[in-house]
Each structure stands twice: as C-alpha cells, then as structure tokens.
Chain A
C-alpha cells in the first residue's frame, strides 16, 4: 500500500503524466464536443460509439493506404456519413431518436467489423508531433504544449470554437433556440430541420475524429470495437458539463486523468484480481458523476436544451 502511495506522489505531478492525460482525454473531448453541438440543437444522437468506430476505421485505412493528411479528413467524413443516416431517419422520417441512435451504434459496430476485417492487426507508423523538435525540448512546457499530434490541437480549437460559436455568434444563438423550443424557433422563421441536419453532421465529424485518434495515434492499429465504450462516456461527460463547453473541456481532462491513473496503478504490479476492478473504475466514475450532476434540477433547467430528443414535425 505504501508503494502505491509513493507511486502516486512520484508519478502524478510529472510531465509524462500530464502528456498521457491529454492523450487519453482527446478522443473523449472530440466526440463530446460534437455531441454537445448536436444536443444543444435539441437532438439526442446515441450513435456516437458507431460514428467513432467509422472514423477510426476510415482514418486508419486512409492513413495506411495514402497519408495522414488524407486520414484526418477521411475520418471526419466517415463520421459525418454515419451521422447523415441518423439525420435522415430522425429528422426527415421523424423516427424515435433513442432507437435510431442505438441502431446507428449497432450498425457502426457491424459495418466497421465487416469492412475493416483486412486491416485488423496491420501496422501504421505512429503520427509525428506537429511542432519541431527544438520547441518540444523546452523543459516542462515543451512536451505539454508543443509535444502533441494535430488531433490534440484540433480538439482544443474545436472546443474553444464551439464555445465561441454557441455563445458569441448569431448562428449559435439560433441553434440553441432551436434546441430550447423548436416550435417557437420555427415560428420565428428558423429552419429547424436544416439547422439540426447541420448540427448532426458536425457532431458526426467530431466523433469520427475522436475515433481516428484512437486508431491513428493512440494504439495505432485497427481492431473491431476498439472504442470500447468511449462514445458512451462522451455522452455522460455532456451531462457532467451540464451542456457547457468549458466544463466539458475540464471534464474530459479529469476523466483522462482517471483513465491514466487507473492504467498506471495496474502497471505497478497489483495482483491480477484487482485489475478487473480497476478496469471498472471509469464506468463507475461515470455513474457517480451522472448522479451528482443530475441532482440539481434548476441547473439542468438553466443549461440543458429543453426540446432534446423530441420529434419536430412542422405544422402542416
């Protein structure tokens, strides 16, 4: 036990820990950013996991066959393509969003397994950091600020941009209005369905990027079902953040820290039996977080989009 304590002291405050946390948090942050936009427009897309897998496979395959420069947009496109299915069914055909989202996840798992079979276990060169060697060698700041691959910077630009878009632009205000009360927004002349299509596609692109981070940078390889529930954790993070971008950023990094900590404790040579329980920790933590954040109903009312998940049928 004292060994564990020493480990925590010696490891927690290190640069490598911070770098690892950012790495673990990035796919969650990317996927959750996308879903935040979707939910703020009043749509609940439970297909995040499926869209992440589509992005993971497309990003991996395109990087291997062509280049990373193609891989990143390919991942976003693949996520958006699956999102388009969801948008068509939920917005045009007015299907139940919970059921449609679940169908999309199952579809995503199946179709990537089907198409991805030849890529399983094939190698991919790890992606290089974005900045030059000299910048990375600056003590402490170097590895934390300049030591990452493009995805990490993309995720930060993404969440900051999402904040700016939602709260400082007219388009963002309209999107939130649509999410708050689609009937009133429609009466004001907003194109509810069109706006939601756009939000769902953007959400899919972000989820695709989140998945691609796992296959192109983190592992880097393709395995069926490799996202292992990250999409669902991203969904829970949004509740944790009560639909606020800055809290989402914080939440993703806290969660990343938890993931890294859990893995590192497993690496300290605890008995095999304990590892099963350590693996449970992120999922249990998600439940605890949900409980705490759902408690305050007034805060939920103030920030949660009121028409989330409801079907919008324009008056005929």
Chain B
C-alpha cells in the first residue's frame, strides 16, 4: 500500500497568449519520493512548477496538499505550506555574504551566531559545506547552489523542487548533490527533480513524469525503462534536431599553439597547448560553464590579446596580437555567448546593429561615412535570409525575442561567408525551432569549406554537430579528438579534470546524441 500523496495536481491547465503551456496535467508525489519531471525545453515543466511554487495561477484544475484542496496565491503561501524551490538561476546577492543571503530568505532572521549555528547544523546533516562569511561573488556555481539549497532547507520544506539543478555542476558536484538529495528523501522529504538528462534521472529518481507539448505523455519508473524509450517519449515522433553531414576536412586554417593567458578573478590561466581548425570541419569545445570558455572566445576573437603574435596563426600568418577587426579583415567571424550587450547593442536599431561587426566592410562605409541606405538593405537581407521576425529593421535589438535576435546576429556573421567562424554557445536559451535552424546553418557553412569552432555546454549539441571535440577544464584545453573516439566516460573524466587526456578506449559504451 503506497503512502498517501503529499501533493496532488488534478487537471491543471494554463494558457498563455498563443500557447497552451499546461494541458490537463495530473501529477502526484508521496513523502520520501524523488520524482523526475522530464521534458524538452518548452514542454511545460517550468510552468507547472511555477504553479506549485505560487508564482503562477492555473486557469483550470485543482491542487491538493495532503488530500485537501488548496490555492497557492504566492511564493510565501507555498513556503508556509512547506514547498521550497531551488531555481535554475540563482537569486543570490553577489555582494553579500553567505550568511546574509540566507538570513534574507528567512522571515525575521538577522545575521548572527544563532543563524550561523542553524546553518552549520543543516550543512552538516546533508553534507553541504559552506563558509558563512564568504562573499557570494567569490564562490563557484556549485557553492552558490548549495546556498540556495541550504536556505530552502532551513525553511524545513516537505516538498523540495529543483529546477535543472545539475546544469551548472561538475560531475563531482553532481554526485555530492545526489547524495544530499538521497539523505533528504530518507528523512521523508518529497523531491521534484526537473531535468532533461536521462542518465541522472535513471540514477536518482524513483518515479518519472514525462511531459511533451504541455501534456503528460507517460509515467514510469526510470530505472526499469531504457533511456532510448524515454528519449522517444520526450521527443515524440519528430526527427532528431540535427543530422551530422559528411564533410571532407581540408587544410589547417587557424592554429593555436602554446597559448597562455591570465584570467581575471583569481581563476587559473587559460592554457591551450595546440588547437587546429581545418577547412570544412567543425571543432567543438565542451566543458562546464566558467572553466575558461569566455577567455578562450576572447583570445580567439582578439578582444583579449595573446602574449606573442605567433601563438595564433591564420593561414600561417601570426595574428595573436591583432585586434578583432584585423582578424575579421583576414576572414574570421566571431559570435560571443551573450547576445544582448556583447553581440548586439540593446538600444541600437537592427540597422545599426548590422554594422557592429562590419566596421571593416567598405561597402557599408567609406572613410567613416556610413551609407545608410546600404546598411538598411544589409539589415533587411539578414532578417529575410535567416527568418528573423520583427516589426521592422528600425526596431531596437532589446525589443526582439532571444531566438530572433540570435538568428539575426548569427545571420550577420554567416552572411559574410567567413572562411573561419568562432561561435560561443550558438543556441543558448533559444527556442527549439531557432536552435535547429542555427545548427543547420552551421553545418551548411562547414559543408561549404569553412573552419568552425563551437564552444558549448550542451554536449548533445556538440556531438550532433562536430567532427572533432576538445574539453576545456579549469582553463586548460585538452587535445582535440574525432568525436567518435570520445566516450561519455572519457568526456566525463576530462570535464572533471580527473584525467584530462585519458585515452579514449577506456570504455566502449556507444555514444548517442540525446535530445
């Protein structure tokens, strides 16, 4: 006889203009259960959790807490019931200390010895190490997440919701988190674990609910079902997002050798022993966020300069100490991770943003005199050619959705037909349709003979897209290897830094792109 459910959702429906985010969803969780909520981006997981956490009200349906119907009007009401949520993006105050951050989230708490005592007790009980006096901006992503968890636990929740908690963690930190969660479950806390990573779910969760297009498509015990079945349920009968095309690699175009660069904030320096980009080939750089991706991007783009010119050569010409526009003139295009504020100026129109990476283009200006007509035509061409939806090219970049702006800035670089492209997180935070389109465009560019470097934290994307893979950990870039030579095991080890250059044949498990 199973326990009575702690929380039960019956027929939950929530609509947004043009979207049915949750469609007649039933869901139940019992005390001590770790329940996975699986689904792709846009499947309706976050909406459902926001409803439970009191951030959104359902249009239809009923929420039952210990069998009684309840209305959760606000996050505070949710907290009072015993529902705690650890968000994907930390809502922490970077300039305040750990203890102050925790005090802020507790009603009436004042930083002091009493709070520090409670903090240490919880931290010890669940294996969460924290220095109460450290300033948050000095901590790693894993430590920041621990603050979030501790401050949620101090409210003694009966139900704990974690939204994509492992996306920012190293495998080692993930192990630690799982240990904590198992201890919590043993103490009868119910846990909702939102994820799209099947291996983790199979390792951790007792029960799983799979969402697709706002509906529940299946419920199962993840340990009993194989990963491929779950993947199919999540994806539906839709074809896989990207299909790697066969390409022929040509001559080496861009070469990095013996590069070493100090990084800010006390992080270890960026070290690249050797990296070669060949024509018609996509090289991927995998790694957990914050391991030097930005430094690598900036060194390759010329926003940061290398110590010596010959650290980076392009067609055998040293460019290590050339700025971005000298590199662009040679035929390299770049696209940074941050769309708004780095790749585009928020309060500029699309027309003005079309010029941002084209200041060496003599067709758009001569001796500083901008040809406005040609520039508007360029902006229009980029929009038309890359399916950018906007209400006119005189619209501000800040007014575009993430996906549309990404298509615009990607299009701006691709339209230059670069011989070499450096792109950081090409589809981060972009809707699935736009992501597929961008990946296809990158494939096409490589097919036409361009050398491409993709820096991404999305392993599935890299495996689907790249011919060669390298791993960036703690600032050190591993040697590149053909993608089929890497195993999950080897990648995992390299990403944790355990054995950065571990031989590939360690484990023969086949690699498969997961959605």
Question: Is B111 touching A173 in the complex (CB atoms < 8 A)?
Answer: yes
Looking at the assembled complex, report how far the CB atom of A39 sits from the nearest CB atom of chain B, in whole angstroms.
13
Looking at chain B's contact residues, the main secondary structure is loop
Question: Is A301 touching B137 in the complex (CB atoms < 8 A)?
Answer: yes
B371 adjacent to chain A (CB < 8 Å): no
A174 to B110, CA, bound (A): 10
Question: Is A173 touching B110 in the complex (CB atoms < 8 A)?
Answer: yes
A181 to B91, CA, bound (A): 9
A302: chain B residues at CB < 8 Å are 95, 135
Question: Is A174 touching B104 in the complex (CB atoms < 8 A)?
Answer: yes
Q: Which of A183-191, A206-214, A232-240 contacts B (4 or more CB under 8 A)?
A: A183-191
A184 to B92, CA, bound (A): 7
Looking at the assembled complex, report how far the CB atom of B514 sits from the nearest CB atom of chain A, in whole angstroms.
32
B400 adjacent to chain A (CB < 8 Å): no
**Interface members, chain A 160-203 (any B CB < 8 Å):** 168-170, 173-174, 176-177, 180-181, 184-185, 187-189
With A188-B104, A301-B137 given, is the CB distance from A180 to B110 under 8 Å? no
Question: Is B92 touching A170 in the complex (CB atoms < 8 A)?
Answer: no
Question: Is A180 touching B103 in the complex (CB atoms < 8 A)?
Answer: no
Question: Is A188 touching B91 in the complex (CB atoms < 8 A)?
Answer: yes
B96: chain A residues at CB < 8 Å are 173, 176-177, 180
A59 adjacent to chain B (CB < 8 Å): no
B92: chain A residues at CB < 8 Å are 184
Looking at the assembled complex, report how far the CB atom of B361 sits from the nearest CB atom of chain A, in whole angstroms.
34
With A168-B110, A189-B75 given, is the CB distance from A173 to B95 under 8 Å? no
Size category, B interface: 10 to 19
B507 adjacent to chain A (CB < 8 Å): no
Question: Is A184 touching B110 in the complex (CB atoms < 8 A)?
Answer: no
A304: chain B residues at CB < 8 Å are 95
Question: Is B76 touching A189 in the complex (CB atoms < 8 A)?
Answer: yes
Of the residues B75, B91, B135, contact of A184 by C-beta under 8 Å: B91
B94 adjacent to chain A (CB < 8 Å): yes
B137: chain A residues at CB < 8 Å are 301
Question: Is A187 touching B103 in the complex (CB atoms < 8 A)?
Answer: no
Interface mask (B97-128 → A, CB under 8 Å = 1, otherwise 0): 00010011100111100000000000000000
B96's closest neighbor in chain A, by CB?
A: A180
Of the residues B94, B100, B109, contact of A306 by C-beta under 8 Å: B94
A305 adjacent to chain B (CB < 8 Å): yes
A57 to B100, CA, bound (A): 41
A184 to B91, CA, bound (A): 5
B75: chain A residues at CB < 8 Å are 189
Question: Is A180 touching B105 in the complex (CB atoms < 8 A)?
Answer: no
Using a CB–CB distance below 8 Å, which chain B residues touch chain A? 75-76, 91-96, 100, 103-105, 108-111, 135, 137
Pick the 10 closest A-B CB pairs, nearest first.
A180-B93, A180-B95, A184-B91, A170-B110, A306-B95, A181-B93, A177-B93, A187-B91, A177-B104, A302-B135
User: Apart from A173-B103, A189-B75, what are 13 other A-B pairs with CB-CB below 8 Å?
Assistant: A170-B103, A170-B110, A173-B104, A173-B110, A180-B93, A181-B95, A184-B91, A185-B93, A188-B91, A301-B95, A302-B135, A303-B95, A305-B95
